[in-house]
A and B are shown apart, each in its own frame.
Chain A
């Protein structure tokens, strides 16, 4: 078995430096069991079944844990932080590890099926790697299963032959004994040049194992060995072929997905079933740093579940900018419902149509405002309330949407600004280093604070989506309290970070920011934990989506 830990460090290398080694583990985090290294290609079935987490001398990583389909694989590294409530188990694979994984599964199935390696590999792919279905079908009718997939149990190793005078290629019509040709179990013979061109064309179209004999209506699969034999001379096409094989492996399995980040070539394995996505958000973080939802492949949308996110995004797209603009910039006259845009002046409005006088802020009648012309503090007065309640229902729902959308949008924008903030922060850090003769490590607290900020912004953003669909009840009030706690703390931290060098001494600032960061982080964890358990307990009612 592979003796690599997830960071790619070999045990032996770190034997005499155990402390640093364990620190490494702490660093990269708890549940991200990053795929084992290529060593797994030399698979050893016996040792797999015997190893148990934490007891074997084989190393910290066990293949059978990986292959266990149950999904709740045990964390396999010694000093692992406890998994947070909202975190899910997943593994990251690089292309090499993906290749090894395919080899492993095939090698495990081979003795079970008792057919050749080649046939096993193709049969597995034909069954989209659903081992149970394959075994079931195979045991009930092996011949039919193979035939349906276009396979034979023991295909003779493919080889290019020549020396048959009667040979004539049905594609290019070249004939004669000199011509080298290939024939699969179906007996259709084609010259090697034509075969090569045919396979190359298919590979460049993205095909791999599904390539079959070129004869009309012949379904016999060419197979991986034969493809490699034909493409041996052309490295680029060969690489593409291998790539297609891996691609189809990841695409065919529900439990695997590519990291959607541009140019990222890692794949993620995650066993949170589709049915659980309504209450569990399978957020994973790729080695490339991209954090995304395994379920919908969208950006990390903790703590809103996938179905809500897609609904919300659809809604944001549907509600045209025009209606948004009307909502944001206009109000309806309480009396005659005509739409009014306020383009200047004070809060004392007189409707041009019905001459009703009202306050722009509270929508209550102006007569009750007395002399406070520019300042309305009557929002909760009964008459104002009545006036607002009379606003038409559709408008109210739109207003509700805008309420949440503005906040959602605000956090999205702020998250974008956070990137800018990072640049300013770095400048600030340099400045602090220079002016106050601090060491680099001493000013890192600023960067940490910005990191915390952007994580919280993202979470806050999606809590508004959750809140939008949440039916108002006492539980929602608790939820909103938690939300506003985090929001307030986040804004405060934001303020501190944006202008760190003020009147206070550096030590004060540093202490303040660090205190606030820790506080924000705690609030963030509390909120997420609460939402996760709440979703699982069905604590909230959601509008039927």
Chain B
């Protein structure tokens, strides 16, 4: 436990003592805020049209959670495709490049402890990034007005499930970034490769939509988008939980095997 905490502490200092994490968080927040504002403008236009039509069925469809918060969380998730690799690249590849990985390999610490502590440091970053997203539902709860009289503005259960989905998907991304970093000799190469794989995974959902049968179902399951889309609608299935848990675990184990492999390289 001491080694785990020691590595986690060093990783957190390495992440937050340099501008990298702050720039990443700042860019993430700025772009998310911009996208939320654009979604809000579009929502207002839809709201005005629906009010002009006066159709209660259309008005009922104008839901803050589905149209505003859900869309913002899905956008945030896409941003993490680019933010997470920038941070995960340094976990192993940069450590190897600056010669500090040997010290970890020579320490009396299991590789599983090394990789899980490194993943935990990214989990802390993701928790901060996810917590920053709370500002949008909080603003809506404070300043928004329900379209249909008597409805709550923000469904907090659905919102928190969506945020948990963003965090869990980000963790899968982080585990993938960790594994790629463990396989790479160059941190920049690791970041690029991780982002490319994540973009490809993201598009799997779109590809799956045009397919039927087992292949389509498998592609849809592999795509993080399909799981998060359910999450932001307030739906959580056993399949989603299995995706997040098995994805994170399998990729972390792979990262551990790749780090061990460096002893033989």
Do the two shown chains form a genuine complex with each other?
Answer: no
